[in-house]
Amino acid sequence: MIKLNPKLSQKFSYTLLCCAAILAIAPVILMVFIIIKNGASAISWEFLSSMPKGGMCSGGILPAILGTLSIVSCAIMVTLPVGVCAAIYLNEYAKDNMLTRIIKLAIVNLAGVPSVVYGLFGLGIFVMFLKLGVSIIAGALTLSIMELPVIITTARSSLGSVPYSFREASLSLGVSRWQTIRHVVLPNAIPGILTGAILSIARISGETAPILFTAAAFYVPHLPHSIFDQVMALPYHLYIISTQIPNMPKNIIYGTALVLLMMVLTMSCIAIFARIYFRKRRKW
């Protein structure tokens, strides 16, 4: 066997690692580029603000955008308070006992359940058992359960990054535990929790499988009136027009993909920049 000069082998390996990184990241940038290049021509105010026409082959995607926004906002309104409370429990109150360990295991496994299984569960419990029907609320609840472990995990790490000494200082003044959390810990953890929430919103905006049987409809001729309505949703709409409808004009598909992609990426970027900003500004 040839024994390579260590310097040479280092150079070789570094090049290899660099290639791997390029291979991992470049295709995704290419994908985004392709969508932007082909989709930009379809984007217009009319495309964003009108109903689909002619069997969805022309017109806009307004109902799909509104549908996704309404499902996602309902979902985050449910999952954020519950998730933050759960994180507070785990980080501030829970003792290191059997119950805590089971909760942590449950969260880990909840995070790993495939999204389509959440869809099944949502269909079984919200649509059928609770008789909510295929509706915004059923889809939102399904998504909120799916996002719960993510919210809990990010909220926990934000709470954990608040120095323990702040809690001691507050408690030593006779302030109760909850008051300490409410007035000292939470205000300092809020930036991190919100950043996590925005990332979650971005992620669930693009989810299709969980809303497939719980909220999304192929085509709805009107805008949603209440949370018990079926809606069109952007990711599902993209799936439909790219696979189920033959002879769909390509630029409409690209345009829809571009709108969805931009929605998700913009929110993620906001979250990432917010995180950098708050880290820099942190006072301790």
Partner 1 sequence: MRKTLDFIVEKIIFICGIVSIIFVILIFSFLFKEGLSFFKDFGVLKFIGGHFWYPSSDPASFGVLPLIVGSVFVTIGACAIAVPIGVMTALFISEIVPKGIRDILKSLVELMAAIPSVVIGFIGMITLVPLVKSIFNLPTGLTAFSGSIMLAFMAIPTIVTISEDAIRSVPWQYKQGALALGATKWQTLRRIILKAAMPGIIAAVMLGIGRVIGETMAVMMITGNAAHIPHSIFEPVRTMTATIAAEMGETVRGGMHYKSLFAIGLVLFLITFLINFIADLFLGKNKNT
Partner 2 sequence: MVDKIKIENLSCYYNKKCVLESLNLNVVKNEILGVIGPANSGKTTFLRTLNRMNDFDITYSRKGDVYLDGDNIFDIGAESLRRRVGMLFAMPIPLPMSIYDNITYAPKRLGLVTKKADLDNMVESVLRDSSLWDEVKDRLGASAMKMSGGQQQRLCIARVLAINPEVILFDEPCSGLDPISTAKVEELMVELKEKYTIVLVTNNVKQASRVSDRTAFFLMGKLIEVDKTDKLFVSPKEKETEDYITGRFG
Taking Cα atoms as reference points, which of 24, 33, 79, 36 lies closest to residue 204? 79
Binding mask 155-184 for partner 1 (x = CB under 8 A): ---------------------xxxx-----
Figure out which of the listed residues 119, 139, 196, 255 binds partner 1, where binding follows CB under 8 A: 119
Instruction: Name the residue with tokens 């915004």.
Output: 136
In terms of CB distance, is 170 or 256 closer to partner 2?
A: 170
> CB count, 10 Å around CB of 21?
10
Given the complex with partner 1, which of 10 and 73 has the nearer CB atom?
10
Distance CA 150, CA 146 (A): 8
Q: Nearer Cβ to partner 2, position 186 or 223?
A: 186
Q: Which long-range contacts (CB under 8 A, 24 or more apart) does 142-145 make?
A: 142/118, 142/210, 142/211, 142/214, 142/215, 143/71, 143/72, 143/75, 143/79, 143/118, 143/204, 143/207, 143/210, 143/211, 144/74, 144/75, 144/76, 144/78, 144/79, 144/82, 145/79, 145/110, 145/118, 145/121
> Are the C-beta atoms of 197 and 212 separated by less than 8 Å?
no
Binding residue count for partner 2, defined by CB under 8 A: 19
Contact partner, 169, from partner 1, partner 2, none, Cβ < 5-8 Å per class: partner 2
Residues numbered 149 to 178 that lie near partner 2 (CB under 8 A) are 165-166, 168-176
CB of 187 to partner 1, least distance (A): 16
Ranges within 227-246 binding partner 2 (CB under 8 A): none
Q: Which of 7, 95, 222, 225 binds partner 2 (CB under 8 A)?
A: 95
- Contact with partner 2 (CB under 8 A) among 11, 183, 250, 279: 183
Q: In 3D, which of 48, 227, 264, 265 has the Cα closest to residue 135?
A: 227
- Count of positions (residues) in the chain: 284
Chosen residue from 90, 159, 211, 232 binding partner 1 by CB under 8 A: 90
Q: Are 207 and 146 in contact (CB under 8 A)?
A: yes
Give, as ranges, the residues between 182 and 241 that touch partner 1 (CB under 8 A). Answer: 199, 202-203, 205-209, 212-213, 235-236, 238-239
Which of partner 2, partner 1, none does 201 bind, CB closer than 5 to 8 A by kind?
none
Footprint on this chain of partner 2 (rule: CB under 8 A): 95-96, 165-166, 168-176, 179, 183-184, 188, 283-284
